């Protein structure tokens, strides 16, 4: 059977965070049941097309999947298992907001087969959490981890953000220290990206919020790499750190360009050489929209994506695999770029893999553009 990963989007939240441009909809509680019935119908429609597949990971993202009754997630998992067999060791993740968790919800999730919990902690500074529009406190994150352990979760991840308006290096250190002290297995440490159209973008444009300078942002990233390594978390992707054996297998599928099926509003898929997605809007999805903007990927598309995604990981780009898939050595047409980047200390080649150095990861987009430009000349 061929491996398949599943992403299930739950587009509901209690309130919109200041930085969020995801497909999430507060105040739509009346649509919860209708949405999940549409989602279950989509799963049933896909079932005949998934013969010969086996789910190796599933990921419930949002929005806030833990906002509503956990029975919705449990029923969705049951429907998925009827549509496609799951590997015995399948990684099944559910995102959650610490302010929406209860022991009862966690018990239902764990009983349904969810074995990985990803909590949107973001910060352990209550003032920063308020500025971000988060609905939880730092204390609630610690309580959520405690409840998760009591419910039987042995794989817990925390999302943290740096480069926040007004955030000091001391606050970032304290957040990392607090996360490590909770003993979680995985930490994602992301730089804030100010997306157009968000309240955060309006604050920055008006001068009401000031972002850190690039040097400060890089210093925060370097501190995270150093501090988390010292605490036993290995960096396996630009923004992701894990205790050995607890790397997020679902996200590794994305970075390795494995096949995945996205279900629900705004969910994206890569399947049988095609990329497609469901409608971004909740109403569009409820009206029956599916598989929009399907694109058959060319070899050039696949090659470009491979460079962009593989270089995000510390494992790097597998040069032998590249030659098998694309029929030519990776160096061909990139000699000048590779030489420049190696001299500058941005990349290194070792053991058949080309990878970005820690310095190169700080400028990932620029390094990738240089690699891709040489092939377009």
**358 pLDDT above the threshold of 60:** yes
Residue range 221-234, pLDDT digits in tens: 999 999 999 999 99
Note whether 102 and 207 are same-domain residues.
Answer: yes
Residue 61 has phi, psi (to 5 degrees) of -125, 180
Rounded to the nearest integer, the mean pLDDT of the chain is: 94
- Residue 14: phi, psi to the nearest 5? -75, -40
Give the pLDDT confidence score for residue 306 in this predicted structure. Answer: 96
Closest CA to 128 of 186, 62, 178: 178
**135, 195: one domain:** yes
Helix (H, G, I), strand (E, B) or coil at 2: strand
Which residues are 88's β-sheet partners? none
CATH of the domain at 55: 3.20.20.70
Domain assignment present for 158: yes
Higher pLDDT, 161 or 212: 161
Quote the radius of gyration of the chain (alpha carbons, Å). 21
pLDDT score of 18: 75
Please tell me the predicted confidence (pLDDT) of residue 204. Answer: 86
Question: What are the pLDDT digits (tens) for 11-56?
Answer: 999 887 878 778 888 889 999 999 999 999 999 999 999 999 999 9
Helix axes 319-326, 299-310, angle to 10 degrees: 170
Distance, in Å, from the CA atom of 342 to the CA atom of 353, rounded to the nearest integer, reads 14
> Could you give the maximum distance between any two Cα atoms of the chain, in Å?
59
Report d(CA 377, CA 373) in Å as an integer: 6
Position 376 pLDDT exceeds 50: no
Helix, strand or coil, per DSSP, at residue 179: helix
- pLDDT value of position 36: 98
Percentage with pLDDT > 90 across the chain: 85
Same domain, 62 and 155: yes
More confident residue, 211 or 146: 146
pLDDT value for 316: 97
Q: Please choose, from the candidates 295, 303, 185, 290, the residue with its C-alpha nearest in 3D space to the C-alpha of residue 246.
A: 185
Strand partners, 191: 162
The bridge status of strand 240-242 relative to strand 234-237 is: antiparallel
Same domain, 163 and 15: yes
The band of 125, judged by pLDDT with boundaries at 50, 70 and 90, is very high
Decide if 293 is inside a domain. Answer: no
Together in a domain, 114 and 204: yes
Q: Are residues 80 and 170 in the same domain?
A: yes
User: What is the per-residue pLDDT for 23?
Assistant: 82
Look at residue 95 and tell me whether its pLDDT is greater than 90.
yes
Residues 8 and 122 in one domain: yes
Give the chain's domain count.
2
pLDDT at 4: 98
Domain that holds residue 219: 2-254
CATH code of the domain covering residue 346:
1.10.10.920
Residues 98 and 222 in one domain: yes
What pLDDT, on a 0 to 100 scale, did the predictor assign at position 138?
95
> Phi and psi at residue 346, in whole multiples of 5°?
-95, -30
Residue 105, in any domain of the structure: yes
The answer to whether the CB of 132 falls within 8 A of the CB of 122 is yes
Residues 355 and 208 grouped into a single domain = no
Q: Residues of the chain with pLDDT > 70: what percent?
A: 99
| CA dist., res. 102 & res. 114, Å (int) | 15
φ/ψ of residue 51, rounded to 5: -60, 135
Lowest mean pLDDT among 10-24, 119-133, 275-289: 10-24
Please tell me the distance from the alpha carbon of residue 323 to that of residue 185, in angstroms, as a whole number: 35
């Amino acid at each position: 059977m061929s491996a398949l990963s599943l992403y299930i989007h739950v587009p509901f939240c209690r309130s919109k965070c200041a930085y969020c441009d995801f497909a999430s909809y507060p105040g739509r509680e009346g649509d919860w049941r209708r949405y999940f019935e549409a989602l279950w119908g989509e799963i049933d429609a896909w079932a005949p097309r998934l013969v010969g597949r086996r789910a190796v990971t599933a990921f419930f993202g949002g929005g806030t999947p833990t906002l509503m009754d956990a029975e919705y997630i449990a029923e969705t998992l049951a429907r998925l298992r009827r549509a496609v067999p799951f590997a015995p060791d399948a990684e099944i993740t559910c995102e959650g907001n610490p302010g929406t968790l209860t022991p009862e919800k966690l018990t239902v999730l764990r009983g349904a087969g969810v074995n990985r919990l990803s909590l949107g902690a973001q910060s352990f500074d209550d003032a920063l959490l308020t500025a971000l529009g988060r609905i939880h406190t730092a204390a609630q994150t610690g309580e959520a981890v405690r409840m998760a352990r009591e419910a039987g979760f042995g794989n817990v991840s925390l999302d943290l953000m740096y480069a926040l308006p007004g955030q000091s290096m001391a606050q970032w250190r304290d957040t990392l220290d607090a996360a490590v002290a909770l003993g979680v297995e995985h930490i994602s440490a992301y730089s804030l990206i100010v997306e157009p159209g968000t309240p955060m973008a309006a604050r920055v444009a008006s001068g009401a919020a000031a972002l850190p300078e690039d040097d400060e942002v890089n210093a925060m990233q370097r501190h995270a790499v150093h501090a988390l390594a010292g605490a036993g978390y290995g960096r396996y992707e630009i923004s992701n750190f894990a205790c050995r054996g607890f790397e997020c297998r679902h996200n590794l599928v994305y970075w390795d360009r494995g096949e995945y099926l996205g279900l629900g509003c705004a969910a994206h898929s890569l399947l049988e050489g095609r990329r497609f997605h469901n409608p971004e809007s909740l109403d569009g999805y409820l009206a029956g929209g599916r598989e929009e903007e399907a694109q058959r990927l060319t070899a050039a598309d696949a090659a470009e994506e491979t460079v962009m995604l593989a270089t995000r990981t510390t494992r790097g780009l597998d040069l032998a695999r590249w030659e098998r898939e694309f029929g030519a050595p990776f160096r061909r047409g990139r000699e000048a770029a590779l030489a420049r980047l190696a001299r500058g200390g941005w990349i290194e080649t070792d053991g058949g893999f080309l990878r970005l150095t820690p310095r190169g990861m700080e400028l990932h987009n620029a390094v990738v553009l240089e690699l891709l430009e040489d092939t377009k000349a």
